Structures are given as C-alpha cells and as structure tokens.
Amino acid sequence: MASLKELRNRIASVKATQKITKAMQMVAAAKLRKAQMAAEAARPYSERMAKVMANISAGMEGSENAPKLMAGTGSDQTHLLVVATAERGLCGGFNSSIARLARDKARKLMAEGKTVKMLCVGKKGYDALKMEFSGILLDVVTFREIKNVGFAQASQVSSQVLSMFDDGEYDVATLFYSEFQSVISQIPTAQQLIPATVPVVEDDVEAEDVHYEYEPSEEEILEDLLPRNISVQVFRAILENAASEQGARMSAMDNATRNAGEMIDKLTLSFNRQRQAQITKELIEIISGAEAL
C-alpha cells in the first residue's frame, strides 16, 4: 500500500495533469471555430467546381480526346494512396482512424495482386504506417513548421502527385482524410483523385434544358481545370483535417480532464482512509501505553 506521502504526490501530479488537459481543451475549442469556418467556407467552392466538371464532362462521354487525368492510363495495376493526417497527436482516434482506413485499403489491393505506393501528408500518418508499409512509403510531406497551412501547401502536394502521374509511376490515386461533421463526429473518407471521378449532380430545375457552348473547347478547359481540381480537393482535405483534428482534440482533452477528476477523487478517498487508519492506530498505541502504566 502506498504511503501518505506517495498518495499526496500522486494527487498533486494528477491535478497538474488535469490543468494541462483543461488548458489544451480550451485552446482546441478556440482553434476549432476558426478551422470549422475555413472548412465550411471551402465546401461550396469545391461543390461548385464538381458541378462545372460534371457539366463539361457530360458532353465528352466516350470521346477519344478526353484528358488523361479523366480517362486514366487504361489500367488499375498500380495505386497511389495519399494519406493526410495531423502533425501532432493527443487528439483521440483522429489519426489512427485515417491510417486504419488507408491500411485496410492497402491490404485489400495487395491481396488482389495490385502494386501499392503511399505518400503521407502529416507526420502522424507516417508514424502509424511506417512499420507495416516501410517498403512502399515513398515520401512524407510535413507542415510542422508552418503555422497556417494554405493553398500553397496543397498545391505542393498536388504538384508532386501530378508529377508522379506524368512519369507513369501509378495508375490510380486515392486521397484519405477525415471529413468534419461535429466535435464528436469525424468521418474517415477515401476520395479518388486520378482518374478524376465525375460526381453525380442532382438535377437543377432552373438549369433544365440549358445548353452551354464553351470557348475554348471542353478538352482545353478540362486540361486546365482537372489539375486545379486536384489542388482544390487536397486543400479541402487539409482544411477538413484541421477542423477534425481540433474537434477530436477538444473531445479527447475533455475526457482526459474528467478522467483526471475521477482519479483525484479516488486518490483523495484512499488518502483520507489511510490517514484515518494511521490516526486510529496511533490513538490505540497511546491508549495501550497509558493503560500499561
């Protein structure tokens, strides 16, 4: 059984930890609002671009002049998995859930005889995957020294992905990230980047029977739009991850703070019981000594 001094030190230690977790929770709550606004502001642009791409590509179905980024290489033998996670931990299961989704996808593809390559965006994803997939991890892109990650960093990642595709290093590219829903809900998501998948857009009543003529041609527009769309999707994934990370950290630190409070109560109860037992023992010794006299 621990001594009173050990229990007192343990209580002080847990109280100090509780102060830290409470402070981290408050910091995450402050950062969450800004990150959430940025993620929600990026969604309309991304969705509108998807509608534009769907409209343009609708007139190119079956065309032999379709851009390579849309038509693909004609094979799906080699897959590139772009795993976007956070640079820091202490955010619950945020990083591990994205890594788990990418790990399951890699195992499935390898079981089918496909060649798999990985590109990690964020240190924690690399740390989670390097032990099992060290042979197929090509690179890790980190933004730890950058305070506010923006479109320039997303363009850096997309440029690397496009460069590898132009060099014929893979056939299909899939992006993994976590879509922010709420503080307690972040959904790990896999999105195919290359070949570009045209989303199914719901019919717009106002746009029915409306036909567009494009100048220059649809092929030339898509040649410029498709690389830009990859940068936009990577940027959106980074923003969604930023909001999801702060939401997960806020929830995790709240749980840690409450767990620390419960541990303090248990330790305090043990301390009081042991002190009471020690006082009772001393009283018995004094009474026994007095009676012996």
Q: What are phi and psi of 146, to 5 degrees?
A: -95, 125
91 is catalytic: yes
- Helix axes of 94-111 and 123-133: crossing angle, nearest 10 degrees: 40
Q: How buried is 43 (Cβ within 10 angstroms: 0-12 exposed, 13-18 middle, 19+ buried)?
A: middle
Render 124-168 in DSSP notation, one character per residue. HHHHHHHHHHTTTEEEEE--TT-SS--HHHHHHHHHHHHHHHHTT
* Annotated catalytic residue, options 66, 83, 91, 222: 91
Cis bond leading into 195, ω under 30°?
Answer: yes
Q: Could you give the count of Cα atoms lying within 13 Å of 93 in the half-sphere of its Cβ?
A: 8
Cα torsion through 266, 270, 272, 278, rounded to 10: 180
- CA-CA distance, 13 to 3, in Å (whole number)? 15
Q: How buried is 85 (Cβ within 10 angstroms: 0-12 exposed, 13-18 middle, 19+ buried)?
A: buried
> Which pair of tokens denotes residue 17?
């930890």
Q: What are phi and psi of 173, to 5 degrees?
A: -120, 135
- CA-CA distance, 247 to 253, in Å (whole number)? 10
In the chain the beta strands, taken as DSSP E runs, fall at 78-84, 115-121, 137-141, 172-182, 185-194
- CA-CA distance, 186 to 39, in Å (whole number)? 13
> Which pair of tokens denotes residue 54?
């769907």
**Catalytic positions, written as ranges:** 91
